[in-house]
Amino acid sequence: MLSDGPVVTRFAPSPTGRLHLGHAVSAIRAHDYARERGGRFLLRIEDIDGTRSRPEFVAGILEDLTWLGLRWDSLVFQSERLATYDVALEALKARGLVYPCFCTRAEIAASASAPQGDVGPVYPGICRGLSADEVAARAHLAHCWRLDMAKAVAVTGVLAWHDAIAGTVVADPLAQGDVVLARKDAPASYHLAVTLDDAAQGVTDVVRGVDLFTVTDVHRVLQALLGLPVPAYHHHPLVVDAAGRRLAKRDGALSLAEMRDGGEDGVALAARVRSG
């Protein structure tokens, strides 16, 4: 675990759309946790999805957070850190802990042997046992790099992490399967990038939604494999709509920009979030 010192939190949105109330809650919680303890609040733009990230959404994020009355101590873009992700991936390759996967998303979803996890189908290991010759024959095809979770766990042994509400959590990374660490259209997956970024920025406390609770097991494995510090975690409840579904850009959740255009006061909205 991280040693005692100044609290550092972060908010790390992807510039693939406008922020909504769910994002605002996470940003406010992370901001206030740091400020109440005399710490630092960082803003990180997760912009390595080259097909969906857009400059106007970056500008929108800055505008929305300012409207809420939040201020950040530093601003970092993931697209400036690609070399760091490459180094970590190559280190894992050298240890034989990752393998190339040539399966499409449709093939994985259609596989009868693919169990359902918390965030979708768990990869059934179709490409895990490919021989060197088979990999070479497919090298011209698009592929991603997956973490061989069984091998990784054999190296790390039993791991745990701490959540502010759940307490000590014994990690069960095998339940997440062989997760993707990089693919052609994304030089680092969320798992690899967020783990490396949090460590590089000295984040002591990760404040995020409970939808990411179980994938923290994956991040704990990567921390152990790469010799990275382990932050404390604070997984908060999600904001849901009238039907009980979490707010999402793809479902047309009302954006903060739309709330602002409708006459909402951002500072007053943040105050309501804080009060309950």
Catalytic machinery residues: 249
DSSP result, the chain: -PPS---EEEE---SSS--BHHHHHHHHHHHHHHHTTT-EEEEEE----TTT--HHHHHHHHHHHHHTT---SEEEEGGG-HHHHHHHHHHHHHTT-EEEE---HHHHHH-TT--EETTEEPP--TTTT--HHHHHHHTTS--EEEE-HHHHHHHH-S-EEEETTTEEEE--GGGG-S-EEEETTBSS-HHHHHHHHHHHTT--EEEEEGGGTTTHHHHHHHHHHHT----EEEEEPPPB-TTSPBP-GGGTPPBHHHHHHTT--HHHHHHHHHH-
**Which among 162, 154, 158, 152 has a CA at the least distance from the CA of 222?**
152
Q: What angle do CA 71, 72, 78 make, to 5 degrees?
A: 140
